[in-house]
Structure 1
Amino acid sequence: MAFLKHNGRTVCYRLLGDSAKPLLMLAHPLGMTQAVWDDMLPALLNSFRVLTWDLPGHGASAAWPEASDQITPEDLAEEALTLATAAEAQRFHFAGTSIGGVIGQQLVSKHADRLLSATLTNTGAVIGTPDAWNTRSASVLGLGLSTMAVDIVPRWFGAAACEQQPALVEGWRVIMGRGDNRSYALLCEMLGRVDFREMLSEQRVPLRLVGGSDDVATPPDTLRALADVSGATEPVILEQVGHVPSLECPDKLTQILVNNLT
């Protein structure tokens, strides 16, 4: 684990593997941490140098500054680019889930020259509605993440994972509950503003989309709509998987990345 300063904030990251291999950056979902990628790392390191990091107010990264009352996709993309520069990678592969996929869309639309490819999972050009995200933001600020996690975390996982791995759900409730309320709320508000439908029509980055059949947050139709506006091929939909395939079926997601990027 390592740390760097970006725009006055401390960002926690891991840079693993052989510097001679191409860099693969992995961006985690909202409310989670870079630990979502842990089960995939041993296999990925056979082919890539891997960089993971914690988003603002998540894991060991510092909260969003009090002086700023808004987070934008470009803020998060710039953070990713700072990390890539720290890894001395002019170009890199990118994979992101949920809000991590939003960061990927920003990179694809505005920083395509830095990308070798993008694999976006469980995300969309538009995710949910502004009202729903603003309501969640207000609830988090009022109740706190530890309370909100009780209802939010089970929605991340498909029925099979919830039934077979109850400790997985409970563990991520604990992790989400330790996050920074304000940073999470600002990221919710950002997701309510996100709309990439007009920004991806001319993108030329090799793009792969992956989703879960049981994902209630970004269901398969959301991925198909993203494919339509971005020119990506038909999404790979993983059966009996919810919102976080890196936890529910790490071997399958690893194989998709290795097969498509090497």
Structure 2
Amino acid sequence: MQVLIRPWGAMHYFCDGAEDGPCVVFANSLGTDLRLWDPVMPLLPRGLRTIRYDKRGHGLSDTGPDAPITLDDLAQDAIALIEATAGGRPVVFVGLSIGGLIGQAVAAARPDLLHALILSNTAAKLGTAESWQARIAAVQAQGLAGIADAVMERWFAPDFRATPTLAPWRNMMIRTPAAGYIAACAALAGADQTQASAALRLPVLVIAGGADGASPPDVVRATADLIPGALWHLIPDAGHLPCVETPEDWAAAVAAFLQEHAR
């Protein structure tokens, strides 16, 4: 187990690959842990140093004190991880959903730390404060199991939901600590990177899923259009987690970008 001690507790992470290879940091979505990336790891270019982590309140990381957190707090955790693990080298940051918002915040706060940014199934702003407060209220009233089926409908296309492969991902979501899930929802309620992301000046790849019910492709495309020079890639049949549902298609797009921009 690899652990980075933060002011709020222990943050679990996992480094793999060549010690001196180009560093790629992966930030996962709400209600998932670093295993989100397992399906695509074997499909990425060889020679990379991959760094995956569980954001606070998820996976094997501590939840931290019962206090509000912001997107900036989550970005500071990612910045600390990069500084601790990348050996002073800039990284490519890959973020999905809330992980993509974290990546945008890191790029805005510390552009010196990033070579490039990959944003998957995310946007400069996701949902509204009211929608996230409603999600928090639902979790408080029903628990994560009570909202799981609705979340799976937003995460995955119907064909995937009809397979036994759905079960582990549903289990991962409902086994997330409720306090950690709620804290991340509260951070999303206040997150808006619109102005900051419009000012980004680094290579960016933006990926969307045509069947994504959590971050619809038009919302994702609007963020791609916001960032000067950003590349756009749509996976027509994928839902919110294309690295799970269509790993070969997702990895092909990411690999091509990494071949050009990971150094």
Task: Give the TM-score taking structure 2 as reference length.
Answer: 0.93
> Percent identity at matched positions?
31
Whole-Å separation in 1 of the counterparts to 2:122 and 2:81: 22
Q: How many residues align?
A: 258
Indicate the residue corresponding to 2:57 in structure 1.
57
Paired residues of 2:123 and 2:220 also in contact (CA < 8 A): yes
Indicate the residue corresponding to 1:225 in structure 2.
222
Indicate the residue corresponding to 1:81 in structure 2.
79
User: CA deviation digits over 1:118-166, x for unaligned, max 9?
Assistant: 0000001111121111010111122211222232123201123223xx2
Paired residues of 1:213 and 1:242 also in contact (CA < 8 A): yes
Indicate the residue corresponding to 1:40 in structure 2.
40
Q: How much has 1:222 moved relative to structure 2?
A: 0.7
Q: Which moved more, 1:99-108 or 1:181-190?
A: 181-190
Indicate the residue corresponding to 1:25 in structure 2.
25
Question: Which amino acid in structure 1 is aligned with residue 94 of structure 2?
Answer: A
Alignment of 1:170 with 2:193, yes or no, is no
SS at match of 1:236: strand
Structure 1 runs of 4+ with >6 Å offset: none
Q: In angstroms, what is the RMSD of aligned CA positions?
A: 1.5
SS at match of 2:198: coil
Q: How much has 1:45 moved relative to structure 2?
A: 5.9
Indicate the residue corresponding to 1:137 in structure 2.
136
Alignment of 1:259 with 2:259, yes or no, is no
Task: Give the TM-score taking structure 1 as reference length.
Answer: 0.93
**From 234, 240, 245, the counterpart of 1:243:** 240
SS at match of 1:39: coil
Paired residues of 1:44 and 1:50 also in contact (CA < 8 A): no
Question: Which amino acid in structure 1 is aligned with residue 146 of structure 2?
Answer: T
Question: Which amino acid in structure 2 is aligned with residue 230 of structure 1?
Answer: I
Whole-Å separation in 2 of the counterparts to 1:45 and 1:219: 28
Whole-Å separation in 1 of the counterparts to 2:109 and 2:5: 23
Question: Which amino acid in structure 2 is aligned with residue 96 of structure 1?
Answer: G
Whole-Å separation in 1 of the counterparts to 2:235 and 2:250: 9
Whole-Å separation in 1 of the counterparts to 2:150 and 2:165: 14
Whole-Å separation in 1 of the counterparts to 2:206 and 2:190: 22
Whole-Å separation in 2 of the counterparts to 1:42 and 1:248: 15
**From 207, 221, 225, the counterpart of 2:204:** 207
Q: How much has 1:234 moved relative to structure 2?
A: 5.0
SS at match of 2:20: coil
Which runs of no fewer than 5 residues in structure 2 stay unpaired?
Answer: none
Whole-Å separation in 1 of the counterparts to 2:108 and 2:26: 18
Which runs of no fewer than 5 residues in structure 1 stay unpaired?
Answer: none
Question: Which amino acid in structure 2 is aligned with residue 64 of structure 1?
Answer: G
Paired residues of 2:133 and 2:189 also in contact (CA < 8 A): yes
Question: Which amino acid in structure 1 is aligned with residue 103 of structure 2?
Answer: G
Q: Which moved more, 1:137-146 or 1:201-210?
A: 137-146
